[in-house]
A and B are shown apart, each in its own frame.
Chain A
């Protein structure tokens, strides 16, 4: 469960309201694959990931980024029960996808950086702090069912 003040909840919905979620998703996943190339290990089927421009322009990366961010967006509506909301996704990532939970932290921080990139000064230290709590909560929830 993420504990957010009313101010923090406000900061989150204000910031999220200013961005195009699909773009944030595509950008965040793309940058994850560029900045931490070892994360490409999960995406052999995605085709050309050989350069930054190939990654950022890759349609499968964009589509997957949108899938991921839709899930994240859903999480934003259930901040009082992230573990419940992400329970089956957690099982999937452990049992079928075999993703090290460290990757959830990396992607969460990418989302924060991309938010800053899009919002500039509007992504205040307070807004960032609220988002850091959320991405940490989501990463935690996604690793909760690991065994």
Chain B
């Protein structure tokens, strides 16, 4: 799967629109994921996962910042995400199925907050972008 020039343009435009809301959206996506897909909580036994949790907010910001970085370096995702890729492979070892679950919740969050921008074509580009990020993050698993 390859990101076309149009996909890259769409992704950058969305991230510009997200602006400073990244951390809030990251947190909301995590909240949605923990509620809809309770198995994802197994990776956070050390967290308070209740709504409004400072730990979830901190983690939501982390995820959002990483995605913003990826969007800014969409021409070289393996390079931009190399450290995170190592981390997920050797330390976190999050089962690959979970990246789809978080990606889905990120799409739900963006659709809810930016209905005008979330056209079918942009939706497709975002889905491909998140899938590409997920592929890079799991690329060193074995």
Task: List the interface of chain A (C-beta within 8 A of B).
Answer: 30-31, 34-35, 52, 55-56, 109, 112-114, 116-121, 123, 125-126, 128-129, 132
Q: How many A-B residue pairs have CB under 8 A?
A: 60
> Assuming the A-B contacts A125-B32, A128-B36, are A52 and B112 also in contact, with contact meaning beta carbons closer than 8 angstroms in the complex?
no
Task: List the interface of chain B (C-beta within 8 A of A).
Answer: 28, 31-32, 35-37, 51, 104-105, 107-109, 111-113, 115, 118-121, 123-124, 127
Question: A59–B124 Cα gap in the complex (Å)?
Answer: 21
| A residues near B112, Cβ cutoff 8 Å | 116-117, 119-121, 123
Question: A56–B119 Cα gap in the complex (Å)?
Answer: 10
Interface residues of A, dominant DSSP: helix
| B residues near A128, Cβ cutoff 8 Å | 32, 35-36, 105, 108
| B residues near A35, Cβ cutoff 8 Å | 120, 123-124, 127
Closest to B122 in A: A52
| A residues near B120, Cβ cutoff 8 Å | 30-31, 34-35, 52, 55-56
- The reply to whether B121 and A52 form a contact with Cβ atoms under 8 Å apart is yes
> Assuming the A-B contacts A31-B120, A52-B119, A109-B104, are A125 and B31 also in contact, with contact meaning beta carbons closer than 8 angstroms in the complex?
yes
| B residues near A114, Cβ cutoff 8 Å | 111
Q: Please give the distance in Å from A7's CB to the nearest CB on chain B.
A: 12
